[in-house]
Amino acid sequence: MVVSQGTFAVMIFTDRFFMSDLSAAHIAAALGGGVAAMFCLSFFTGLISYANALVAQYQGAGRTERCTVVVTQGVYLIALALPIIALLGVLGGTAFDKIGHDPTLVPLERAYFYTLLVGGPFMLGKTLLACYFVGIGRSKVVMFVDVIAIVVNVPLTWALVFGHVGLPPLGIVGAGVGTLCAQALAIALFLYFYGDRKHVAQYSVRQSWGYHQGVMKRFLRLGLPSATEAFMNTATFNVFLLMFQSYGVAEGAAIAIVFNWDMLSFVPMIGLSIGVATLMGRSVGAGDIARANQLISSGFIMALGYSSILAILFFTFRIELVDVFATPDEEFAQVREMAQAMMLGLCTYMLADATILIAGGALRGAGDTRWVMLTSTSLHFAMLAAQYLVIVHWQMSPLASWWVLVAMLISIALCFVVRLRSSRWRRPERLARVMAEH
């Protein structure tokens, strides 16, 4: 799963690297438009992603016929989401110029945003199928599919952005189209494995179609807090990012570059978090919560070790890493100065990110989604209020705003560790309610 999520990081990284050959405005627009699209999809992505824990819990309980029923209910939820996503797209496309973004950014952000949102159904479908295969323990299938998708995505995006091999130069739209094509390919590959004769027989695929009230209730009862958390956190982060980009194009490009390197740490760790949630879900389904401590310790060792190594490298080579995204315009000197200072904050919060992902994965896998939602969203809203004061009211420097974000991530990490060390989420009666289909 680390390799699988790493391919997603590579896709984002290369998209923004290609944008650096165009201008600083293209780098900033790729971040702004991309985050806005993720915001519009975040609620449904958070809901569909909980299929991972549900499938793992049924797998651990030996109820394999329920695993594919989860997929079927997920398909119904995606179908219900489509008109809402379309409405969000219509409303979201008008937001960029209304919040004071530089006029050079707005058309680029809007074009990238619309392109990604058209591919929203593909993203949700891919998420659902990937969560299913991870939940039943076939994570190598997910790795294989994602590696094939990125092998196709990178050269295709290069050709679409710059107009090579007979294709028209689409610029930032080409990056979005490349992403959409990669997701469609991934779905086709997943369906090939899903329709395998042996898999169909083992997991009762043909009997899984149809509405199942008990599984759908579990999906909504446990998944809606995760969906709400994903939506509210993405919303607050998106508003923060939009406020931060109001500082100017150079500041927007600087934060985009820093977050691009952040992806190399954060996104692969999402894969490890998914693995922790899956194994925790199996333990809950099998009634073997005693293995939780071993699972959590192993996750922390891997995540903190990986993040520590990257933090040292990022601190040592922060200027050289920023220069990878050097643009041909005159603004890059200002971008470099801002981004290399922000890299220090990145090195500070990387270990906090690793802690949040492992602790959050364990708690979600155990069904403690409501507490995670309340705690994470509360701290994100506190951060957003502080950012409003810093950026809009007091008009402080971009670096002051950046360190407020760092402080928020450290606070969430501390709260998650305290919850993980408590015994409330481990109580047998609580875990029994997690598995109940009502």
* Residue 279 buriedness (CB in 10 A; 0-12 / 13-18 / 19+): buried
Going by C-alpha positions, the residue among 287, 292, 294, 244 that lies closest to residue 399 is: 244
Instruction: For 181-288, list the strands marked E by DSSP.
Output: none
Mean pLDDT by 10 residues, the chain (438 residues): 72 79 78 80 89 90 90 94 88 70 77 86 92 91 91 91 87 87 93 93 90 91 89 84 80 85 83 88 81 88 93 93 82 87 92 94 90 92 90 88 91 93 83 76
What's the length of the chain?
438
Residues 252, 335: Cα–Cα separation, whole Å: 9
Residue 203 DSSP symbol: T
Return the sign of the alpha-carbon dihedral for residues 402, 10, 268, 324. negative
- Confidence at residue 350, expressed as pLDDT on a 0 to 100 scale: 92
- Confidence at residue 413, expressed as pLDDT on a 0 to 100 scale: 94
Going by C-alpha positions, the residue among 145, 151, 120 that lies closest to residue 133 is: 145
- Confidence at residue 315, expressed as pLDDT on a 0 to 100 scale: 94
CB 402 within 8 A of CB 343: no
Q: Residue 302 belongs to what H/E stretch?
A: helix 292-316
Containing structural domain, residue 236: 2-435
The token pair that represents 101 in the structure block: 């973004």
- Confidence at residue 99, expressed as pLDDT on a 0 to 100 scale: 63
- Tell me the Cα Rg of the chain: 21
* Residue 161 buriedness (CB in 10 A; 0-12 / 13-18 / 19+): buried
Q: Across the chain, what does the average pLDDT equal?
A: 87
Residues 390, 384: Cα–Cα separation, whole Å: 10
Number of domains in the chain: 1
Residues 317, 347: Cα–Cα separation, whole Å: 11
- One DSSP character per residue, 399-436 reads HHHHHHHHHHHHHHHHHHHHHHHSSGGG-HHHHHHHH-
